[in-house]
Structure 1
Amino acid sequence: MSSQRPFRFGVNMFVPGSRREWSAKCRRAEELGYDVIGVADHLGAPAPFPAIVLAAEATERARLTTFVLNTPFYNAALLARDVASTDQFVDGRLELGLGAGYVKAEFDLAEMPFPSGGQRVQQLERTVTTLRGLFEDPEYQPRPAQPSGPPVMIAGWGDRLMRVAAEHADIIAFPGGWASPTGDALHFASTAQMDERIAYVRGLLGDRTDSVEFNLLLQQVLQSTESTDGTETPDRFLSLPPDAADGPEDPPSVVTGTPEEIAQQLKERRERYGFTYFTVMEFNMENFAPVIAALR
């Protein structure tokens, strides 16, 4: 399905390193043309909100997102305070990414029970509605810089989560597949499976379809070893999981070829699925930059 919404490009950054190194990486992402800098939420990695505030100090225009918060870890009222304060400190550049949590080992490490998938989705919905209600209250303090709070992105794959996203999200993020029950493996979606998910979500959105942005997390960017002018480039091919392809087709979350070929693949994904916001991992940040240039 075609969309007239312009492309946006994000990169999910890994924070480890010094303050100077983190700031330099964020500046580099902005220089390369990325529109959004994301920070994930995993135990064993730095906390997202301090990292986002420092990223704002190092950059000028890039939006900043939690991609995505492990929502069951948070009390909604306390999270609202952190979100509003962070939005203030980054001058309204915050986008709030939320997920239902999926890695059982992280709950075990935090000595927290690992609820069922349905319970985690219910908590995510309660959190979204609490945040919306607080930010829409003119008496609420601290005030976020954005009048009704930052845009909300909800990421996931299953039916229950997609129903919540269709009702509440400004951005719906598709991770390109689904996690195993304990979160220790990712199964890549085929083109047919992505077709089904998009159709399902569009049916839920109804009249909201045109107002909701679709994000695709590109799990891998595989550039060919030969550029369009025939000169050799470094081999950046990495192995994929055994279920990464559905027959002869690459899964939608994997792009391959020269920058120009990948740019065409993203146009096709926009036409077929409505994806206009694409996010890559930090290890593909430099690799993907020529694709951004080809689409600008």
Structure 2
Amino acid sequence: MPDYGHEPVFGSFITPAAADPAATVELARVSERAGLDLVTFQDHPYQTAFLDTWTLLSYVAARTERVSLSANVMNLPLRTPAVLARATASLDRLSGGRFELGLGAGGFWDAIEAMGGRRLSPGQAVDALSEGIDVIRALWDTSERARLRYEGEYYRLAGAKRGPEPAHGIGIWLGAYKPRMLGLVGEKADGWLPSLAYFSDPAQLGEGNARIDEAARAAGRDPGQVRRLLNVGLGGREGPLAGPLGDWPEQVAALALEHGFSTFILASDDPDLLRVFGAEVAPAVRELIAAERS
């Protein structure tokens, strides 16, 4: 698979645990001090063991200075896209352009319905996500003054005002695995954000990239516009990222150079592992990628 040429980015994927909120926030601060570029949290609004992800992201933005922030990924069925558009733009402005928007179509429908959300079939969920992206982008676009009208199957705007404009070009990253979702990534998204643990064979990463590239070209886009992000777990006994610390940089660099991924997000609540990932693994990976590209 191609190397899409994006600069490497390294981040953390932290459990938004409600039992010890101070510890959860401290893991984000540890990530920043370790030199990581990005802090992310999963979003399951129906999970009472978790802090509300939007509230947590806002609080962490105020407790950090440099690191970028995102949900991994935001549960669109329980977060109205028009309100989400204004909320993300607001937090991006408040944080000095440090917010990115990871989005998901939803999946735990019993729990979503219990919270008042609408149960959708898998195909409907993809269609609703596609409409949601349209709504969010339209409200961010303040180049025109005309009020917005949008007539979708799942979302409608009846003369909504545009804005506020984000402080920077917020990336929309989709958590996607199946063909229609991968097609939506290529057609409309800025990034693909899967988890490595969901792939039994590294070749499946290439298959996903190929579907995204095909959809991007069909939509008149350069496939290189789509950043490839990956949630990873390090130090296991099996899989592409296994074995001792000394092997990690080459394994991560191979995912960049052979499979086109450029953002690596470590799923861990271990502060020592986050420090190692930021202070040791990330610099070594950057050197390997730079040497191979040169």
Whether TM exceeds 0.5 here: the answer is yes
Larger mean Cα displacement after TM superposition, 129-138 or 107-116: 107-116
2:126 alignment partner, SS class: helix
Larger mean Cα displacement after TM superposition, 282-291 or 200-209: 282-291
Larger mean Cα displacement after TM superposition, 106-115 or 41-50: 106-115
Structure 1 unaligned blocks of 5 or more: 178-186, 224-236, 238-244
The separation in 2 between residues aligned to 1:271 and 1:284, in whole angstroms, is: 28
1:291 pairs, out of 255, 264, 281, with 281
Percent identical across equivalent pairs?
23
AA in 2 matched with 1:208 = D
Larger mean Cα displacement after TM superposition, 121-130 or 103-112: 103-112
Q: Give per-residue Cα distances to partners, 1:136-177, cap 9 Å, x unaligned.
A: 134545514325x52111111111111111111111112236
Q: TM-score, normalised by structure 2?
A: 0.80
1:221 alignment partner, SS class: coil
The separation in 1 between residues aligned to 2:67 and 2:55, in whole angstroms, is: 16
Larger mean Cα displacement after TM superposition, 122-131 or 41-50: 41-50
The separation in 1 between residues aligned to 2:7 and 2:115, in whole angstroms, is: 40
The separation in 1 between residues aligned to 2:126 and 2:170, in whole angstroms, is: 20
Name the CA shift for 1:199/1:285 in 2 (closer, same or farther; >3 Å). Answer: farther
User: Counterpart in 2 of 1:47?
Assistant: 52
Q: TM-score, normalised by structure 1?
A: 0.79
How many residue pairs end up in the alignment?
Answer: 258
The separation in 1 between residues aligned to 2:283 and 2:258, in whole angstroms, is: 22
Residues 1:262 and 2:248 are matched in the alignment: yes
1:90 pairs, out of 87, 95, 101, with 95
1:104 pairs, out of 109, 113, 134, with 109
Question: Does the Cα contact within 8 Å between 1:84 and 1:143 map onto a contact in 2?
Answer: yes
Larger mean Cα displacement after TM superposition, 73-82 or 151-160: 73-82
1:222 pairs, out of 235, 244, 254, with 235
The separation in 1 between residues aligned to 2:19 and 2:58, in whole angstroms, is: 16
Name the CA shift for 1:193/1:284 in 2 (closer, same or farther; >3 Å). Answer: farther
Q: Give per-residue Cα distances to partners, 1:26-76, cap 9 Å, x unaligned.
A: 211111121111121112222222211211122111000011011112222
- Cα distance, 1:108 vs structure 2: 4.1
The separation in 1 between residues aligned to 2:222 and 2:71, in whole angstroms, is: 23
Residues 1:281 and 2:267 are matched in the alignment: yes
AA in 1 matched with 2:94 = F
The separation in 2 between residues aligned to 1:12 and 1:158, in whole angstroms, is: 22
Question: Does the Cα contact within 8 Å between 1:260 and 1:294 map onto a contact in 2?
Answer: no
AA in 2 matched with 1:213 = R
Residues 1:130 and 2:132 are matched in the alignment: no
Residues 1:194 and 2:198 are matched in the alignment: no
